[in-house]
Structure 1
Amino acid sequence: MTRQLVTIVAAVLALSSNAYAQLSKEACVDAHSRGQDAREQGKLSLARKLFLTCAQSSCPAAVQGDCARFADDLTNLQPTIVFVARDASGNDLPATTVYVDGALVATSIDGKPHDIDPGNHVVKFSNGDSDEVITLVIGSGEKGRTVLAKFSAINPPSTPDAAQTVTSRPAKPAARKVQHPKGALALAVSGGIVAIGGGALAFYGRSQVPEACDLSTHQCAAPPGAPVFDDAASAANKVNIGLIAGGVGVAALAGGLVWYYAGAKTDKESPTQQSVAPWVNGNGAGVAVLGRF
């Protein structure tokens, strides 16, 4: 009876072993086929996992060889990205959750690369109540690409209070005082007046020359002793006096102006200086403000 029971158990185990081996072969072939489909669709992560499954030693040799080669090829083509999250001050935020295309990828950021398929992706970083969404395009074979999210609302840099802000103003330069010679301006004004008066006198004298006389030749077309000779002499004297006075006035005007500007001196005004010094005597103590003007 015991011998018959052992024989039955052994037969059942043998049948179960053959059935498992048959299912394993089917799983290998299925993984081989599905892996190729996923690779053609650009789903490199899924294809690589399937090829690693059918590359096991339990799979048929032909299937195992193909899957191992395909897995190696996809290792080189598989893009990877590295997640980085920082606050407004530039500090890292490791306690940040990351979603790629709506699927949870990481519950924290540790600096390790993550596999991702080529193409367009939407990456969402979540930290507390703040979310940052980044859209990116990943190329085939791109390794270690950094995806950075900056949370500007977390830990913003402090700004100085308006009441505590001190505005530095440049020191006002000392004023310059220009001193002109006192008599220069009077000389220039007097010279101008004399020049104008002399010119007017010369013009008036020229108008008083009789028509019968020529001032340039000092001759008159009249008989000797005629009154025109006296009139012409008087007019000539006025012209000469006016010309001399005008020349003196012009010289005085020019000299006064030259003296006024050439003799000017520039002095710097001494700025007001103040100092504070403590004082102590037998009657008490205090602070004295000393100034110099």
Structure 2
Amino acid sequence: MSSPSTALRFVPAALFAMTSLGGTQAEAAPPDQARKAACAAAFEEGQELEKAGRLVEARGKFVACSAADCPAVVRDECTTMLPRVESSLPTIVPGLRDATGNDVVDAEVTLDGKVLTKTLDGQPIAVNPGPHTLRFAAPGAPPVERQVVVRVGEKNRVITVDLEASVKDAPRDQDKPTEAGQGTSGRRVASYVLGGLGVVSLGAFAYLGATGKGELDTLKETCGRTQSCASADVDAVKTKLLLADVSLGVGLASLGVATALFFTSGSEKKAATSAVVRPLVAPLPGGGAAMLFGTF
């Protein structure tokens, strides 16, 4: 059997010979000139498409030039090459599932932007080998894309994707049930935060109180004896002592609330709410006061 390239070189000559020869044998069922040219062109194009990896299109050309009304020399070559292309031609079986896991039948599937099918009936579909973008679209749900690489000779490859739930059907945050233990977890976290705040505040009280008391004693031993202390120095000492008192109040209140939250976090679970703590600091004559208001 001749190779495709050799056969291609002899097709024009064979066609010419069939057209030119006279006699009853040539006149028995002679294809017209246009049909001869179409068959020869389909044969040539089929070979080029096969080389380019466009096997779907190549199969169509070889089917066309295998028709009974094509010249015998062309028809014989095409019928020989057609099975080879069909053997290499891959097929896929696209599938689609909805949010409940049921198969979807009425859906449009496109391959690289071109409609492949509008009915998912489980039948294989021939596609060219290589990388492709499959897009599945069904009513009531956003489309889903899948990147695939189809291999030469791969048959009946099942490609099933799951539809995402429609945005309008997705549960809203306020409709979601409260997870068990959410309120308890929030209280426990709040107790840790307030405990840390209390420790830091008490540390600030110790530092400000010690340094402020030391500076006050220094003023008393120096300019205080003659009542000649500068106002700026006196105000600085007062501010430091006031901040020390405020830090003490915040520290004690934070530790108190933190302790209460920690020991009540294991009690009966209630609807989860956000813990909000607001400090209130107020200066008073000779010192200050600090309080914490909170909702849990």
TM-score of the aligned structures, taking structure 2 as reference length: 0.46
Larger Rg: 1
Higher strand share: 1
